[in-house]
Amino acid sequence: MSHCARVRSQPIEPAVQWYPATHVSKLLVEFIDRGVGAFRRNTQASYRLLERARIIARKINNLIEFVEVNDDWKVFDTLTLPIEPLEE
């Protein structure tokens, strides 16, 4: 098994409720992930970037859920800070 194949293999995520804001991010990351294997250069860097985007999207999704469940809008600032790096 090549190193790239080992890096690419991801554990199956448990069923998570994705909100519209984060669902689009999740779909975009999945779409890009399918093509990274065809990159001729910087493949590992691309996989690392995708993993970071996945982590950020999950954190944002968890914060949205926390705000919704606990009606704690103080967390909203925490929610909005990680969005900028994900958009970049």
CA torsion, points 67, 73, 77, 79, in degrees to nearest 10? 10
Domain ranges (residues) in the chain: 19-87
CA 32 vs. chain centroid, Å, equals 11
Q: What is the pLDDT of residue 27?
A: 87
**15 class by beta-carbon count within 10 Å (0-12 exposed, 13-18 middle, 19+ buried):** exposed
Question: pTM for the whole thing?
Answer: 0.63
d(CA 40, CA 54): 22
Q: What is the pLDDT along the chain (88 residues), one digit of tens a residue?
A: 344 443 444 445 556 788 887 888 888 888 888 888 777 788 888 888 888 888 888 888 888 888 888 887 777 777 677 777 767 7
